[in-house]
């Protein structure tokens, strides 16, 4: 009988150790469940929350960065402050239209050709041209009118420098070219007295009517109602000048529309 007592002591110690282990595991389980609910309701601040989100590639291309990022803020908008607004009064002297048409023709090789550039250019990138001509600007008292067409990033593909304005620059002889081009009528036709006139020129690359006819246009070409922005709602393009063939219609004398 006494010989079996020593063999039962390790077994009891094992039972006690197992009971303590189960008790501690149960207490740990309850504590973990409680802390999980507390952290779910009150999440601790993370490292990522303390930093701004990373910008995308589109934002990096559009936003200037560095010490000179704000160097020209307000500079280019200031150039447009001298342009009259849509509500400005419009005067149409009788002789102004002829002078405006003559000045317009002097800047082109032929009627309908892209206007030449009356100043020196760096011939590098389009943003240099868009700084003044994207929305219009006033530079040294001269009006740089808004582009009459959508943005194209190769301006010098169509527009060439007329002459180098720098003092002492060599003059470039004009090319020997007798091409005349199709002459547009000076005024649009009317369906009846008092009707809006048709557009007396082609509308290709001239989608922005306000470039010439807006408040900043030349006297004689300015619209008397610049506050109206939907020009083609009343003024229709000319099928002949736009080279659109319509049944039963004919273009200008000596000209046939392109099929």
The pLDDT of 118-142, averaged and rounded, is: 81
The pLDDT of 7-15, averaged and rounded, is: 77
Task: Pick the range with the lowest mean pLDDT from 8-12, 83-87, 181-185, 215-219.
Answer: 83-87
Count of residues for the chain?
259
Q: Is the pLDDT of residue 259 over 50?
A: no
Question: Among residues of the chain, what percentage have pLDDT more than 70?
Answer: 74
Give start and end residues of each alpha helix (H) in 42-150: 57-62, 75-79, 96-106, 126-133
Contact present, 119 and 165 (Cβ < 8 Å): yes
Residues 110, 107: Cα–Cα separation, whole Å: 9
pLDDT at 85: 65
Please write the tens of the pLDDT for every residue from 133-179: 888 888 877 888 889 998 888 888 899 887 766 677 777 666 677 77
pLDDT at 9: 76
Structure tokens that stand for 259 in this block:
């099929």
**Which phi-psi region, left, alpha or beta, contains residue 255 (left: φ > 0; alpha: ψ -120 to 50)?**
beta
Q: Across 119-245, where does the E strand assignment appear?
A: 137-139, 142-144
Output the furthest CA–CA distance in the chain (Å, rounded).
139
Whether the model clears a pTM of 0.85, i.e. scores above it, the answer is no
The pLDDT of 175-188, averaged and rounded, is: 76
The mean pLDDT of the chain is 77
Q: Is the pLDDT of residue 46 over 70?
A: no
Q: Is the pLDDT of residue 257 over 60?
A: no
The angle formed by the CA atoms of residues 101, 170 and 106, to the nearest 5 degrees, is 5
The angle formed by the CA atoms of residues 166, 172 and 173, to the nearest 5 degrees, is 150
Residues 14, 100: Cα–Cα separation, whole Å: 110
Phi, psi (rounded to 5 degrees) for 231: -65, -45
């Amino acid at each position: 009988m006494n010989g079996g007592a020593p063999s039962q002591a390790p077994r009891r110690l094992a039972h006690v150790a197992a009971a303590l282990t189960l008790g501690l595991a149960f207490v740990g389980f309850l504590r973990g469940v409680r802390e999980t609910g507390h952290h779910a309701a009150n999440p601790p601040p993370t490292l990522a929350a303390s930093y701004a989100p990373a910008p995308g590639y589109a934002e990096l291309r559009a936003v200037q960065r560095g010490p000179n990022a704000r160097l020209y803020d307000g500079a280019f908008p200031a150039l447009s402050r001298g342009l009259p607004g849509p509500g400005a009064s419009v005067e149409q002297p009788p002789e102004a239209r002829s002078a405006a048409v003559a000045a317009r023709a002097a800047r082109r090789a032929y009627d309908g050709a892209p206007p030449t550039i009356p100043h020196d250019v760096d011939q590098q990138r389009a943003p240099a041209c868009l700084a003044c001509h994207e929305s219009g600007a006033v530079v040294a008292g001269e009006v740089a009118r808004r582009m009459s067409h959508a943005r194209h990033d190769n301006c010098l593909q169509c527009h060439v420098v007329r002459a180098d304005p720098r003092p002492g620059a060599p003059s470039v002889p004009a090319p020997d070219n007798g091409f005349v081009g199709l002459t547009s009528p000076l005024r649009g036709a009317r369906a009846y007295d008092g009707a809006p006139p048709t557009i007396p020129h082609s509308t290709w690359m001239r989608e922005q009517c306000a470039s010439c006819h807006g408040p900043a246009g030349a006297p004689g070409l300015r619209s008397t109602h610049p506050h109206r922005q939907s020009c083609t709602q009343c003024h229709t393009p000319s099928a002949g000048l736009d080279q659109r063939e319509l049944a039963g219609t004919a273009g200008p004398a000596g000209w046939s529309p392109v099929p």
